[in-house]
Structures are given as C-alpha cells and as structure tokens.
Structure 1
Amino acid sequence: MASDDRLRFGVDLVTFFHPGFWGVDSHDAIVGRARAAPRAFWDKILDSVQASGVTGVELTFSPFNWQDAIKTYGSIDGFAAELARRGLTLCSGFFAELEAAGDFTAPEAQRALIDKAERYADFLKACGSDIMVIGAPLRQTLGAQPVQFHDFDRAKAIADFLNRLGATLHARGVRLALHTEAHSIFAAARDVDLMMLLTDPAYVHMCPDTAHIIVAGSDPVQLVDRHHERMIIAHWKDAVGPMPADTPIDKQIHERHQPYFCGFGLGRVDWPAWIRLLRDKAYEGWAILELDAAPDPVRDIANGLTLVRQALLPIYR
C-alpha cells in the first residue's frame, strides 16, 4: 500500500516521456507511437503505474493529456473504469496553457484560457479529482532585450487573472494549485513570496516541486514552511543544484532542466527535513513522485517508494 492513510503517492505521466522506456530514439517517436497505437500506449502507462506501487495518476501535456485519454478509451467513464480496474485514482491534472500563452493579458486570450480550464475541470471532477496543477508563465532570459521586469505591476496583472481563474475552477468543484516551475515567475523564493502575497488564498493554492525550487536557487523546506497552508499537493523530486543565472529560457528550457534532476535521495533535497515539515504542519494529501523522463520509471518509482517507506514515513508518523 503506497500510503499511510494521510499521505498518498502518485506519479505525473511526464515520468514516462523517455525514449528508452518505449524502445525508440526520440521524443517525436514517442508521440508517433501514441498516435499509431493509442490503446497499447495508454495501457502500458497505466499498467506501469500500477506495477510501480503508487496509486495516483497526474495527467500532463499531450500525448499524456485528458483529451488523449478520452480518445483512447472512448469516454470519460471509459478512462475512469481503466483507472479503477487497476486500483488507481486520478489525483490531479497539469494545465500547461499559461506557459504557452505568451501575453495573456488580452481579454480574448484570457477567455480562451478560462474556457480550456473549465472543460479540463469538468473532466477532472467527473474522474473524481479536485486539483488542477497550473504552470506559471516563464521568466525572460537574463539580459534579453527589451527587458521585461517581473515587478509588482506585472505580478499584479498575473495574480488578478489567477484569482479569477481560481474562482472559476472553484465553482466547478476544482482547486487551482500553482506549480513551482523553474524559470517561471513562480519558483525562486522571492517570486513565490510575491505571488502568494498577491493571490487570494481562498482560490489560489500551491503545488511545490522540490527539485524545481532547488534548480531555481532556493530552499524548498524554507520556502514551503512560509506558505505551507497554501499547499494542497506536492511534487517530490530531487535535483543536484541550481542552474546558472544566465540559462537561456526558450522552448528548450525543459530539456535543459533534465541534467539537473536526479534520482530520489541522490540530490540536494533534505528529505528528513521535508518530511518533518509536513508532519509538523499536519499536511495530508497527494505526494507526486515525479521523475522527468525516466528510462526505467517502474524501477525508479518503486525505489523512491522504498526510500519513503523505510526512511521517511517513520518520521512522518
């Protein structure tokens, strides 16, 4: 059982985005396989999640998104039945549209984002989930021209939209959780503090990702300690250290992150301090053991669960 009744463990499906797992040589080939044989593709993913020992699934971008799941299994009920048959739960869904939206301050852009989020929320609710994890807009590369400062005014405009989006999701029974994505405007300590200050805690919650916070040059334990009451789900992941300040922030930024992530317990995250914080703050909920594109995800997730059970859950209890 991947739980102690208060902590429940899941995995984000980005974990399965490694060519080696699929026996191909590129990410494009993975997408091609998903398109060519969607049922075999999704069955392999769900069977692998079940075999790893976790019980929760977090959906993410295509070919691992909610639209793909519906197309593959014919309906929302069909997908939900496949999860239930394996003893799995849809714990959350990742919404990546803000990162790709560019300037979403225009009213028509915001209406389009809210429409997409509403449809996603209805899917999540129908599958028994009430958490939408949302990636924040990316920062600008250091030194890029013309300079765009992430100052109070810009943060306020983003926060206003997030408040309205959070209220929209709440009306559909789903909670918005901002993800601490490295090189976004919600990862480094100052940026997180600013966005938490400007958003309404009734409608905007938090999904800390321990590895991304480290890659952004901050301390996940200190950061989450300040905002623990906003955390409704968390990504448990390890990283070897911060990335250089002048790292280019472009379409390849997620690929640039990957060499800085490492196996659970092999990086800079102070896991005993992390689990003590969750214990002391009485956190209960989902813990997502996420690995970006793992070549052997079943083994890696199972090993992470073993470490959690042997070294961390005794502290938490």
Structure 2
Amino acid sequence: MHRRQALSALAASLGALRERAAAFYPGKRPHIQWSVSSFLWTSTQWRDTGTLPYTEMLDVIRDTGFNGYRFTGWPSIVERIGMSLSQLEKELSKRDLRIATLSFSGPADDPEKQPAMEQAARRACEFLKRFGATELVTFSPRRVNKVLEREHIRRACLFYNHLGDVCAEYGIRTGLHNHSQGQLIETQDEIEQLLRQTDPKKFHWCPDTVHLYMANCDIMGLFRKYAERLIFFDLVDAKYQYLDHDLRLPNGKVEKAGSQNGTFLLGNVDYGDGEVDLEGILRIVKGVGYKGWINMDLHYARVSPRHSLQRSMEYVEKRLDPIYA
C-alpha cells in the first residue's frame, strides 16, 4: 500500500471511530445550556451613553465556558451595540454562542396599555425567533399598595394568559420572572397567587433565586411545588450584606451607603459563596426532567465579570454537572 493510500485509510478509520464515539458518548451537557445575563455589563460595567464594547462581553462569555446570554435592555440597547443584527448573528456564530432569551416587561395590570404591550411582545418574539430562542422572560409591572394588589394581580393574570397565546403564534413560550425591587410580584404569596391564576399551559415560571432569597421566600419549597412549570430560570447564589459604605461601580456610578440597590448588588455572589442550595435545586429540576437554559444572572462582580464567571463555571463543572450526568 502506498503512503498516500495508507494515510487515507487511517484518516477514514479515525473518522469512523470519532463518529462511533460521538454516538456512544453524549454531549457534555445534552439537556442543559448555561447562560449569563448581559445586565451584569449594562448595569455596573458600561456607561449609559455611547457605543458599547459588545464583542468584548461576548468574548468573556465564550472564554468562561457559557453557551449564551440573556439579552437585556431590549429594544433600546440595540442602537448601542455597535453593529447590525446581521452582524450580531455573525459575531455569535463565530463564538458558538446563542441568545437564550430577553427580558420583557410592561403594564400587564393596566387594560388600557395592554394592547401596546401585546405589540411590543410580538416584536420581542420576532427578535427571539430570528436568533433561534424559544422563551420570553416576562417581568411583572410596578408594585402597588397592598390593598390594591389582588386586583392588579388578577388583571395581570388575565393578560398573561393572553400573552401566552400571542407568544405561541411565534413558537415562543413565556413565563413570570419574580423581582424583589419594586415590582408587583415579589413575595412568596404573590408568586403563588399568580401561578394559581394563570393557565399552566399558557403561562409558565422563570424564577430568579437571588430575588427569591431577598424576598425571604422558601426557595426549595417553591421549586418542589412548581418545578414542572419551569421553562427558564436564573440560578444565582446569594448572601445578604448590608451596604454600609459608598460603592463605586466600574461604570463610574456610586451606590450610596444604605441604598437598597447597593445592598442588593452586594447580595449577589459567585457560585458556592452564598446561601442558596444550588445543588438541591438542580436535583429538583432534574427530577422533573427539566431541559433548557439555566441562567447565571449575576448583578455584581467583585473583581471582574471574567473572574466571577470563571469561578462560577468551575463550580458548575465540579458540583452541578455531575448531578445532570
């Protein structure tokens, strides 16, 4: 056999071996994709004006081993990323990254404003569909006086069922994202009210563990009870720390001592540094067969985004991946 023929035969043999190995050994994470939120950059790293160093963020996400990110600041942020959507598609493809979802909100409890919110949701779904995403994360409206809460939740739930139908037209699912900083749905009883009053086939659950933690919710109890309604969730470790000093952020903003937002930021910690039972949550969601995105919605990085994401991905690989293996 000539040398060229031998090399060709060897290459064919190795190719067949790789194909058999790929068929035998599933991908590293066949059921779970890990994302981060671009809010870490838009809220603490970048200034509010000017073109954003968007590809630098994409490089950090890729380099630290995450599969994609939640697009925040939509739609206004599109004008600041320094590229067209077509170019963004190319930049994502070069890095093998995906847009997992986007953050969506509006006055769902105001019937007069619901038509405009529906049109905004349609535009959001068109954006997500373009990038191959299948979930829309919906935030609740602004908080109201406790006396009015039940009525506003009732109105919002009626609209959310309709919103689920609207999103389904685009092949998109949507669900609630709880938030502990001045939104209608913050506490455990409010979360459960909403989930009871919405159709589980139309409107789902996209919780955030740091906000559950800050609202003193029974995190594990909620996951055990409602895990089957999950379509996306933010897994964030947390540890309460009151801001007793002025905190200067990388973007030049200053959180004053005693501020609620500064205290919230300090409560965000890298995986393994906080009090959220990350492994317990993974066991619960695995138990119901959850498949999809898990998002690290870290709001504050003590050293840098790269440092925090790298540390957290090491925790994922060591402590969380084996749970889903």
TM range (shorter): 0.7 to 0.9
* Structure 2: tracts of 5 or more residues without a match: 1-25, 243-258
Deviation at 1:57, TM superposition (A): 1.4
- Distance of 1:148 and 1:235 partners within structure 2: 27
Residue of structure 2 equivalent to 1:137? 141
Please state if 1:85 is matched with 2:83.
Answer: no
Deviation at 1:54, TM superposition (A): 0.2
1:208/1:234 contact within 8 Å kept: yes
* Structure 1: tracts of 5 or more residues without a match: 23-29, 141-146, 244-251
1:17/1:292 contact within 8 Å kept: no
Tell me which of 23, 27, 30 is aligned to 1:5: 30
Residue of structure 2 equivalent to 1:17? 42
Residue of structure 2 equivalent to 1:179? 177
Deviations along 1:282-314, whole A, 9 cap, x unmatched? 111101112103251112112111111111222
- Distance of 1:306 and 1:264 partners within structure 2: 9
Deviation at 1:125, TM superposition (A): 0.3
Residue of structure 2 equivalent to 1:158? 156
Residue of structure 2 equivalent to 1:105? 110
- Distance of 1:153 and 1:121 partners within structure 2: 28
Residue identity in the other structure for 2:164: G
Residue identity in the other structure for 1:14: F
Residue identity in the other structure for 2:133: S
- Distance of 2:170 and 2:300 partners within structure 1: 32
Cα 1:83–1:66 change in 2 (3 A) is farther
- Distance of 1:138 and 1:45 partners within structure 2: 30
Name the SS for the 1:31 alignment partner. Answer: coil
Please state if 1:287 is matched with 2:294.
Answer: yes
Residue of structure 2 equivalent to 1:56? 68
- Distance of 1:218 and 1:3 partners within structure 2: 33
Deviation at 1:58, TM superposition (A): 0.7
Deviations along 1:230-282, whole A, 9 cap, x unmatched? 10111110111499xxxxxxxx7544521222222212201221121122121
Cα 1:150–1:226 change in 2 (3 A) is farther
- Distance of 2:88 and 2:191 partners within structure 1: 35
Please state if 1:208 is matched with 2:204.
Answer: no
User: Normalization by structure 2: what TM-score?
Assistant: 0.79
Say how many residue pairs are matched. 282
- Distance of 2:75 and 2:150 partners within structure 1: 35
Deviations along 1:201-245, whole A, 9 cap, x unmatched? 1211111111110101012221111111110111110111499xx
1:217/1:242 contact within 8 Å kept: no
- Distance of 2:77 and 2:120 partners within structure 1: 15
Please state if 1:270 is matched with 2:302.
Answer: no
Identical amino acids, percent of aligned pairs:
23
Tell me which of 301, 311, 316 is aligned to 2:319: 311
Cα 1:2–1:255 change in 2 (3 A) is farther
2:282/2:323 contact within 8 Å kept: yes
Cα 1:164–1:138 change in 2 (3 A) is same
Deviation at 1:52, TM superposition (A): 1.7
Cα 1:303–1:242 change in 2 (3 A) is closer
Residue of structure 1 equivalent to 2:55? 43
- Distance of 2:27 and 2:215 partners within structure 1: 30
Q: Which structure would you say has the larger Rg?
A: 2
Please state if 1:223 is matched with 2:240.
Answer: no
Residue of structure 2 equivalent to 1:149? 147
Q: Which has the higher relative contact order, 1 or 2, with Cα contacts under 8 A spaced 6 or more apart?
A: 1
Residue identity in the other structure for 2:70: E
Residue identity in the other structure for 2:310: A
Residue of structure 2 equivalent to 1:249? none
- Distance of 1:3 and 1:216 partners within structure 2: 35
Cα 1:58–1:3 change in 2 (3 A) is farther
Cα 1:208–1:312 change in 2 (3 A) is same
- Distance of 2:312 and 2:164 partners within structure 1: 32
Residue of structure 2 equivalent to 1:248? none
Report the aligned-residue RMSD.
2.5
Deviation at 1:89, TM superposition (A): 0.8
Name the SS for the 2:313 alignment partner. Answer: helix
Residue identity in the other structure for 2:129: K
- Distance of 1:74 and 1:266 partners within structure 2: 37
